[in-house]
Structure 1
Amino acid sequence: MPDLDVGLIGSGTAARTRLAAWLALGARVRVYSPDGRHHRLAAEHAPYHVTAAVSLRRLLSHSALVDVCTPAHSRHAFVLAAARTGCDTVCELPSAADPTEARQAADAAEAAGVHLFPAGFERWGATHASLRRALADGTAEFGPTAVLEFGRTAARPDRSHRSAAGAGGDGRVLAELSVHDFDLARSLAGEVVRVFAQLQAEVQGPPVAATVVLTHASGTVSLVRGRWVLPGTTVGTTARLSGPRGEVWQHASAPVGPADARRPSPWADDDPTVAGLRAFTTAVRTGRPAPVTARDGVMAARIVAAARLSAFSGRAVELSAED
């Protein structure tokens, strides 16, 4: 996609991962970050013609598509700015820290006539594909006796010990790690109607692990476990489905280390991030329905908020149908 101009907002791990995927797709990328670290990011990737924008306004004015890879509490403002400029936008999950802001972002994109794509890339992953095959051939099925389990470990973010204003602080493991499995569970087992969550913390530290039980309208229960571990640890995921006869399906990913965005060529066409971004850009260019919609970003924000409320209240939280 050498004719695609992408404006990437952010400079952290998510931004670096997404930058590698955009470069693998052949896009021209400009970067911007409020903390100023985008200048270093651009310099590191100068051989791939990545440039640093001097301001958010300049980035938006030179971009056909914007990718927001900032902490959850700041995404809302960037998505609104992109919509006002007429830019189609990819946004990290959840699309805002607060469900009301996520809905405002979705409404703003719709009013501006642009796409808002939540980055639900796990839907292009091996776990999703494997379970879909098992459902199609009758090996697995959902229902009141089905239990879907997800496990995910990842290196703790550099500044996870700080409470981000407006981001819920101690619930960050829910909004930045477990949210990917919330979206995956909902895409597979259907709408979520009840959430119960518990957080586990280090001694005198913030929560670094979460256990969340999602009850779906179908009766299926999803058990989601997420844990942040020491920096430098590779990402690993597991998933399994159990029924009345015991375990009927399971999948475990090979450990994956941090992506080296300075060498985009090893990225395979079927990598979930590459495949998802390709699907989003195809939807923009053809007008066909997008595989993930702004509503999915709103629902991710609602589930995260319900999990945070449950964790701090000790009670299950009911999720009503979205208006």
Structure 2
Amino acid sequence: MTVDVGLAGLGRMGRIHADNIARGAATRLAAVYDADPDVARTVAGELGVPWVATYKELLDAAPAVAIATPTGTHAEMTVAAAAAGRHVFCEKPISMDRATAVDAIEATERAGVVLQVGFHRRFDPDWVVVAERIHAGELGEVTLFRTTLRDMTPPNPAFLKNSGGFFADVTVHDLDVARWLVGEVVEVTAHGAAADPAFAEIGDLDTAVVVLRFENGALGVIDNSRSARYGYECSTEVMGTLATAKVDGAHRHNYEWRTPGWASRDLLSNFGERHRLAYVAELEAFAHAVETGTAPRAGGRDALAAFDLAAAAETSYRTGQTVTVATERKNDQP
């Protein structure tokens, strides 16, 4: 059985989702929508699917929608989908305003529809295996968590102005992985820098280190860069009392070329290459949740918890102080 999904937003992530929904074993691309009708028309022609001129028409076209539009529209579209009884896959963040995000999450909960958020690493085969073995107790008690996320080249400055800031846009993925693999975070200390003047001019960062203390006593270190230059890197290491798990994979191919005095390997250039399988798997998992009514692996409350940690990191960076994260704020049940 396949689930019909309408896609809103045909930018970079939207195009990735369009291809994966159209070619997925558990999904069918029912229609596409974009604020620019010419873009919608072009993509629809390429994929052989209908396009619609309004979001309302998209909601009428399928029982589920995937939202990959600009951040400022996510919450409103999620609420509209819930009101129409449509299941929602939404790229992060739901909103840069916490109260608005909570309203959108609660709207889906009242409507009884699935809300899955685009934390793709929860569906990456490498991280999934590590998570399963950690949660099965094979690692023992976690003592140290370390993760790295580095982009090869910085994004367009126009994107940065509406990205929500470094911690909400970049570090939030690592904060979600930290909660998923280790548990709740109770302390956040963040340090940041802007080596590139273009970032400093808009008050943003291009490099950051975040130190975490988990509820179980474990420590965590996150390092991020928007401009590593050498390639794209996303890696995680978790050390425990019985074993250590490490996820790497910065290379496109599993061979190296050796010449006298040198050994070289190619490097990935972007997140689309590294997480290709994860982007497929997260939509397959969304379809499964829609069909079975089961809770998604990355739900709205997970997005809210990661958002809170990103906000704590931002506060820590601005004040130079460690921020304690209150348990009731993390869990924040309705």
TM-score bin, normalised by smaller chain: 0.7 to 0.9
- Structure 2 contact 141–241 (Cα < 8 Å) conserved: no
The residue number in structure 2 matching 1:204 is 197
Alignment map for 1:290-305 (pairs within 5 Å): 290-305=296-311
SS in 1 for 2:226: strand
Q: Residue 188 in 1 paired to residue 181 in 2?
A: yes
CA drift of 1:133 comes to: 5.8
CA drift of 1:310 comes to: 1.6
SS in 2 for 1:205: helix
Out of 153, 156, 161, the position equivalent to 2:154 is 156
| Partner Cα distance (1:187, 1:213) in 2 | 17
The residue number in structure 2 matching 1:32 is 33
Seen in structure 2, the aligned counterparts of structure 1 residues 285 and 92 have a Cα distance that, compared at 3 Å, is same
Seen in structure 2, the aligned counterparts of structure 1 residues 17 and 84 have a Cα distance that, compared at 3 Å, is same
| Partner Cα distance (1:153, 1:118) in 2 | 21
CA drift of 1:27 comes to: 1.4
| Partner Cα distance (1:133, 1:117) in 2 | 20
The residue number in structure 2 matching 1:216 is 214
Q: Residue 310 in 1 paired to residue 316 in 2?
A: yes
| Partner Cα distance (1:240, 1:314) in 2 | 27
TM-score (norm 2): 0.80
| Partner Cα distance (1:136, 1:101) in 2 | 33
- Structure 1 contact 161–205 (Cα < 8 Å) conserved: no
Seen in structure 2, the aligned counterparts of structure 1 residues 249 and 282 have a Cα distance that, compared at 3 Å, is closer
The residue number in structure 1 matching 2:255 is none
1:46 is aligned with what amino acid? G
TM-score (norm 1): 0.82
Overall identity of the aligned pairs, in %: 26
Q: Residue 277 in 1 paired to residue 278 in 2?
A: no
Seen in structure 2, the aligned counterparts of structure 1 residues 68 and 192 have a Cα distance that, compared at 3 Å, is same
| Partner Cα distance (1:228, 1:199) in 2 | 12
Q: Which moved more, 1:177-186 or 1:288-297?
A: 288-297
Aligned pair count?
Answer: 304
Q: Which moved more, 1:251-260 or 1:79-88?
A: 251-260
The residue number in structure 2 matching 1:54 is 53
The residue number in structure 2 matching 1:179 is 172
| Partner Cα distance (2:61, 2:271) in 1 | 27
Cα displacement string for residues 271-310 of structure 1 (whole angstroms, at most 9, x for unaligned residues): 2121121112111112233323221121122112212222
The residue number in structure 2 matching 1:288 is 294
Gaps of 5+ in 1: 262-266
Seen in structure 2, the aligned counterparts of structure 1 residues 211 and 230 have a Cα distance that, compared at 3 Å, is closer
SS in 1 for 2:206: strand
Seen in structure 2, the aligned counterparts of structure 1 residues 198 and 69 have a Cα distance that, compared at 3 Å, is farther
SS in 2 for 1:5: strand
CA drift of 1:230 comes to: 7.7
CA drift of 1:135 comes to: 3.2
- Structure 2 contact 127–247 (Cα < 8 Å) conserved: no
| Partner Cα distance (2:171, 2:107) in 1 | 26
Seen in structure 2, the aligned counterparts of structure 1 residues 254 and 260 have a Cα distance that, compared at 3 Å, is closer
Larger Rg: 2
Seen in structure 2, the aligned counterparts of structure 1 residues 208 and 41 have a Cα distance that, compared at 3 Å, is farther
Seen in structure 2, the aligned counterparts of structure 1 residues 314 and 22 have a Cα distance that, compared at 3 Å, is same
Cα displacement string for residues 80-107 of structure 1 (whole angstroms, at most 9, x for unaligned residues): 1211222110111232212222211110
| Partner Cα distance (2:141, 2:17) in 1 | 33
- Structure 1 contact 93–180 (Cα < 8 Å) conserved: no
Q: Which moved more, 1:24-33 or 1:53-62?
A: 24-33
